[in-house]
Structure formats: structure tokens, C-alpha cells
Copies of this chain bind each other. A is one copy, B any other.
Amino acid sequence: MQTLLSHINSYHSLNDEAQKAVENCFEQHVFSKNEYLLTEGKICRHLFFLEKGAIRGYYTLDGKEITYWFGFENDFVTSFHSFITQQPSVENIQFLEGSIVWAISKERLTRLFNEHHEIERLVRIAYEKYYIRLEERFVGAQFKSAAERYENLIRQSPHIIERVSLGHIASYLGISQETLSRIRSRL
């Protein structure tokens, strides 16, 4: 829990009362490798904070798994689309390692927003950061070559490369595993 609170405070520091409220709303869960946090078709009713471990979001296209995000220590994770709209998810969320997460339900989060303006502010600021990150990734996907995307990943997120298999990284970058292997051999 301390990890969650200190991460939150790094975004926007909360007063004691709000911190207490946060503590009361998140529940800890432990998962082992390959377990699922969410599967396709289910509605995602929680927001999660990953205290320890690694996780990926993927969906299935033409029988292949397309991993399109990873989460690690100190990341908030959820199926954004499903959590926000409360529609069935198109994605699966699966642990890549044994992990510890803290969960809060959508109802409780909404209540927190009503009771603590500060917490809604925190989330608004978090959205800004996440939006900018996604924008950068979008520009990369649309306008950069496969090799450039891989080099960017090495530069910006070396931890991903160390902890995740090549096949997952390839689909994360939007390229085939074979092409990624060739790119690596050329470096």
C-alpha cells in the first residue's frame, strides 16, 4: 500500500484525509504467472495498480495474439475502453510474472471523486500523462519504420526488452517476430 500512496503523491500530493480514503478503497490481490486479470467479453469493473510484477494487454486478430501494452511496477492498468464505457472488453489482460496488484472498483472510484476533489484532479493529471504517452506511441506507429520503433523502445523502455519475450515485443511494435529478429541481428 505504501508503494501505491507514494506513487500517487508523486503525481499530485494528497492531504492525510484523502490518503486515508485511498487506503480504504483499494484491495490487494496476488496473482501468479499466466493468470488473467480480465478476459475478452467481460466488463472491466476495476482499476488496478501494479505494485510488483508484469502484465500485458492483448487481443486476438486472425487467430494471432496482438499484445498492445505492457504494465510493470507502479503502473495503473485496466482495460481503458471497457472500464470507461462499461462495455464488454475486446482485450485480455494477462500476467507475465507473479504479481501483486491493488484494485479499486469503478463505483468506489466515483465515490472518491465526489468526496475528494483532489483525487479527481490526480486522475485528470494522470490522464494527461497517459494521453501524451499514447500520442507519442501513435506517431511512432504511423510514421516510423520498424527499426526506428525498436531503437526507440530500447532507448525509452529498456526494462520491457529485458523482461518480455521477443514475440510479445514484436506485436507490441506492430511487426512480425521474424522481422524483429532480423532487425536485432543487424545491430
Contacts and interface: CB of A to CB of B under 8 A. Distances in A.
A135 B134 contact: yes
Contact of A128 (B127, B132, B142): B127
A2 interface: no
Contacts of A135: 80-81, 134
Given A117-B117, A121-B113, A66 B143 contact: yes
A174 B143 contact: yes
A11 interface: no
Interface residues of A, number: 27
A141 interface: yes
Tell me how many chains of this kind the complex includes.
2
Contacts of A124: 113, 120, 123-124, 127
Contacts of A138: 68, 134, 137-138, 141
A61 interface: yes
A121 B134 CA distance: 21
A56 to B, nearest CB: 15
B80 A132 contact: yes
Given A113-B121, A138-B134, A61 B143 contact: yes
A139 interface: yes
Interface in A7-30: none
Given A124-B123, A143-B61, A131 B130 contact: yes
A84 interface: yes
A139 B67 CA distance: 11
B127 A131 contact: yes
Interface in A113-163: 113, 117, 120-121, 123-124, 127-128, 130-132, 134-135, 137-139, 141-143
Contact of A132 (B66, B85, B132, B142): B85
